[in-house]
Chains A and B, each alone.
Chain A
């Protein structure tokens, strides 16, 4: 099964070229969480414009005098990620409704933890001004201090917590 995926160094090289072309053409790196921020702001603005105008968070990027938040670079880029991921999965025969979980982890537990993990990323990415792709990867590529700090904090914490979360991923094997 492993051999069906691309060689990771080749994939990394190609990913680096994608990032490089983003910087070369648009002058900015890749991202993902920024699109979520835009869409959340846009949704709140549509549903409760008065609330959005009051909030110091939303009012900094959505409002009557601002460009619609869905019309931003990262929203289009993430739309591309969905499309690119789908086409690649289609080409390699990997389109399937499936839940992936560590041994002995129930589906509902996995869904709950995935939601929690996503929420933590949503919060952390606001503080760090980006997630693994926007802050860590793209930040490292342009040699920004923030990129390296964020990368070390994410992976350092991941390793520090790995022991406590071992049942989620490697079952009792590592206990």
Chain B
């Protein structure tokens, strides 16, 4: 399962990969004609839309590949680098680059290719890039505050818009196909003699467009990531290949009695069952809520022991597995679920001796735990007469 860094591919081998990837990148840019500044600038004047065609096709291809590889489990989408968002710096930086594009006729990648085949204007552009970075670095203390402002983290665009990833992928593909069609019409009007699109076979391009839209439809009907992840951790074989740590009921009782810090009990049962009986200090989060950003700060610290509590053991195990898939560590599931906890600690029927020499101490401990934890439950019930405050979910970032 990709990515292969850092487990399968060492740091130095990764540099070789970078070199090979770069060779492919450079060769494709050159073959596409991106070493020509006039061709690149054409996208802004309508006489040559090569940039838009290559750029959008590449973005759609890579995005589709990443989504499909992720969907079929070949690529860990949580492990790859997601460009973090600093909203205002991204806009201002983009505006500055836009001015640089129209004046300079290149962007950094294309200027390198242009310089590589002898374009002197490309060479000057590369030189300018060095000067620009140097100037920025020297003036950095003045911009530092702005540079680090409006940080939104590794935000995904579909989360910003509040829609499933598949819908966004479909919308992007549909927009790309539309843009391809419209710009081809414009290009032929603006540049009736030299438009690159004059060489296209209309029938083949229509077929390709239809195929692309078909791919978009596939994304529309792929289940979203939440559904898929929940399904994958609930699947029959999953528990065997990815064993989840269980916490015995007595251990949890001990942690509660001793009021051990850095313990977070996460109750994933339904809201009704949670309000009927909740362990002291526990938080309520049904399975689909565990994805939420509001949990990141409480779940992330490794030292915090996260105990997932379901009605039965399976419910907790699925939730614990899900939490682990989401990248959190120090996660366990309550053995036997709350049903067993209740039957063993809170409302024990009769003590079942295990037949070893700790029976006496265990029986004594459980009696003490029953009294203490019931007291804690009563106290926390009094405290939270008001419904437990649920942190507001971030909906639509920008």
**Complex Cα–Cα for A95 and B85 (A):** 39
**Complex Cα–Cα for A157 and B92 (A):** 10
Residue in A closest to B176 when the chains form the complex, CB atoms: A12
Contact A95–B118 (Cβ < 8 Å): yes
Contact B102–A150 (Cβ < 8 Å): no
User: B2 to chain A: closest CB distance in Å?
Assistant: 4
Indicate whether B66 reaches chain A with its CB closer than 8 angstroms: yes
Contacts of A165 in B (CB 8 A): 102-103
Contact B17–A117 (Cβ < 8 Å): no
A15-B54, A127-B96, A144-B154 known; A87+B27 contact, CB < 8 A: yes
Residue of B45, B96, B131, B180 touching A162 (CB-CB under 8 A): B45
Contacts of B122 in A (CB 8 A): 114
From DSSP, what is the main secondary structure of chain A's interface residues? helix
Contact B62–A169 (Cβ < 8 Å): no
Among B28-36, B226-234, B282-290, B357-365, the one that faces the other chain is B28-36
Contact A169–B112 (Cβ < 8 Å): no
Indicate whether B86 reaches chain A with its CB closer than 8 angstroms: yes
Best-buried of B33, B74, B98, B116 by chain A (most CB within 10 Å): B98
User: A67 to chain B: closest CB distance in Å?
Assistant: 9
**Complex Cα–Cα for A77 and B109 (A):** 11
A9-B53, A129-B86 known; A157+B104 contact, CB < 8 A: no
Mark each residue of chain B from 74 to 114: 1 if its CB lies under 8 Å from any CB of chain A, else 0. Answer: 11000111111111011111111111111111111111111
**Complex Cα–Cα for A12 and B81 (A):** 22
A115-B125, A170-B45 known; A142+B23 contact, CB < 8 A: no
Residue of B18, B31, B83, B158 touching A135 (CB-CB under 8 A): B83
Mark each residue of chain A from 141 to 154: 1 if its CB lies under 8 Å from any CB of chain B, else 0. Answer: 11111111111111
Indicate whether A50 reaches chain B with its CB closer than 8 angstroms: no
Indicate whether B308 reaches chain A with its CB closer than 8 angstroms: no
**Complex Cα–Cα for A22 and B62 (A):** 10
Contact B100–A118 (Cβ < 8 Å): yes
Residue of B16, B90, B133 touching A36 (CB-CB under 8 A): B133
A11-B28, A76-B22, A115-B125 known; A144+B156 contact, CB < 8 A: yes
Contact B130–A39 (Cβ < 8 Å): yes
Indicate whether B332 reaches chain A with its CB closer than 8 angstroms: no
B-contacting residues, A12-43, CB 8 Å: 12-33, 36-37, 39-41
Contact B99–A120 (Cβ < 8 Å): yes
Contacts of B156 in A (CB 8 A): 143-145
Q: How many A-B residue pairs have CB under 8 A?
A: 553
Contacts of B144 in A (CB 8 A): 56
Contact B133–A143 (Cβ < 8 Å): no
Contact A116–B128 (Cβ < 8 Å): yes
Contacts of A168 in B (CB 8 A): 41, 102-103, 105
Contact B101–A111 (Cβ < 8 Å): no
Contact B27–A13 (Cβ < 8 Å): no
**Complex Cα–Cα for A13 and B292 (A):** 35
Indicate whether B295 reaches chain A with its CB closer than 8 angstroms: no
**Complex Cα–Cα for A23 and B61 (A):** 12
Residue of B31, B98, B109, B196 touching A158 (CB-CB under 8 A): B98
B-contacting residues, A30-71, CB 8 Å: 30-33, 36-37, 39-41, 44, 55-58, 71
Indicate whether B311 reaches chain A with its CB closer than 8 angstroms: no
B-contacting residues, A61-99, CB 8 Å: 71, 73-74, 76-89, 92, 94-99
Indicate whether B185 reaches chain A with its CB closer than 8 angstroms: no
**Complex Cα–Cα for A128 and B28 (A):** 25
Best-buried of B96, B118, B127 by chain A (most CB within 10 Å): B96
Indicate whether B210 reaches chain A with its CB closer than 8 angstroms: no
Residue of A74, A115, A146 touching B127 (CB-CB under 8 A): A115
Contact B28–A14 (Cβ < 8 Å): yes
Residue of B32, B37, B113, B154 touching A81 (CB-CB under 8 A): B113
Tell me the B residues contacting A by CB distance below 8 Å. 2-5, 9, 14-33, 35-38, 41-45, 47, 50, 53-63, 65-66, 69, 74-75, 79-87, 89-122, 124-138, 140-141, 143-144, 146-147, 152, 154-160, 165, 168-169, 172, 180, 194, 196, 199-200, 205, 208, 397-398
6 CB < 8 A contacts A-B: A12-B55, A27-B3, A85-B112, A118-B111, A118-B124, A157-B99
Q: Give me the 7 closest cross-chain CB pairs, A-B, nearest first.
A: A117-B104, A80-B22, A122-B132, A153-B94, A16-B61, A118-B128, A157-B98
